[in-house]
Amino acid sequence: MARATHSFPDSFLWGTATSGYQVEGQSTNTDFWRWEQLPGRIAQGHKSGRACDWWEGGRWREDFDRAANDGHSAHRLSVEWSRVQPAPDRWDDAALDYYRQMVRGLRERGLTPLVTLHHFVNPLWVADTQRNLWESAEIVLLFAAYVRKVVGALGEFVNLWATINEPNVYMVFGWVNGIFPPGKKSIFAAMRVAANLLRAHAAAYCVIHELQPQALVGLPIHFRPIFPAHPDFWPDRWVAQTQFNLFSSLFPDAVRTGRLRQVLRPSLPIPEAKGTLDYFALNYYSADVTRFDLTNPRELFGRRSFPTDAEPDSSGLYASCPLGFYEALKWARGLRLPIYVTENGIGDETDGLRRRYLVTHLRQLWRAVNFNWNVRGYFHWSLVDNFEWERGWTHRFGLYALDTETQVRTPRPSARLYAEICKSRALSSDVVAQYTPELLETLFP
Q: Which residues bind ligand BGC (CB under 6 A)?
A: 19, 22, 165-166, 169, 222, 283, 343, 381, 388, 397
Nearest approach in angstroms of CB 444 to ligand BGC is 30
CA dist., res. 146 & res. 160, Å (int): 17
Beta-bridge partner residues of 75: 16, 113
CA count, 13 A, side-chain hemisphere, 197: 32
Nearest approach in angstroms of CB 318 to ligand BGC is 7
Residue placing its CB nearer to ligand BGC in the complex, 258 or 398: 398
Q: Answer whether 348's CB lies under 8 Å from 385's CB.
A: no
Residue placing its CB nearer to ligand BGC in the complex, 166 or 278: 166
Residue placing its CB nearer to ligand BGC in the complex, 366 or 400: 400
Q: What is the 3-state secondary structure (H, E, C) of 179-243?
A: CCCCCCCCHHHHHHHHHHHHHHHHHHHHHHHHHCCCCEEECCEECCCEEECCCCCHHHHHHHHHH
Apex 444 CA angle, 443 and 445, nearest 5: 105
Nearest approach in angstroms of CB 42 to ligand BGC is 13
CA quadruple 277, 283, 284, 286: dihedral sign: negative
Nearest approach in angstroms of CB 129 to ligand BGC is 23
Nearest approach in angstroms of CB 315 to ligand BGC is 8
Nearest approach in angstroms of CB 395 to ligand BGC is 7
State how far Cα 429 lies from the chain centre: 29
Helix 60-69 to helix 93-108 angle, to the nearest 10 degrees? 20
Residue placing its CB nearer to ligand BGC in the complex, 292 or 381: 381
The closest alpha carbon to 61, from 79, 75, 41, belongs to 75
58-74 in b/e form (b: 16+ CB < 10 A) is ebbeebbebbbebbbbb
Residue placing its CB nearer to ligand BGC in the complex, 132 or 165: 165
Nearest approach in angstroms of CB 337 to ligand BGC is 20
Residue placing its CB nearer to ligand BGC in the complex, 24 or 343: 343
- The 10 Å Cβ neighbour count of residue 341 is 30
Q: Answer whether 207's CB lies under 8 Å from 151's CB.
A: yes
Residue placing its CB nearer to ligand BGC in the complex, 383 or 443: 383
CA dist., res. 400 & res. 407, Å (int): 11
Nearest approach in angstroms of CB 226 to ligand BGC is 16
Nearest approach in angstroms of CB 312 to ligand BGC is 14
CA dist., res. 216 & res. 167, Å (int): 18
Residue placing its CB nearer to ligand BGC in the complex, 288 or 343: 343
Nearest approach in angstroms of CB 90 to ligand BGC is 27
Residue placing its CB nearer to ligand BGC in the complex, 326 or 381: 381
Apex 413 CA angle, 77 and 444, nearest 5: 100
Residue placing its CB nearer to ligand BGC in the complex, 31 or 166: 166
Q: Answer whether 99's CB lies under 8 Å from 150's CB.
A: yes
Q: Answer whether 430's CB lies under 8 Å from 76's CB.
A: no
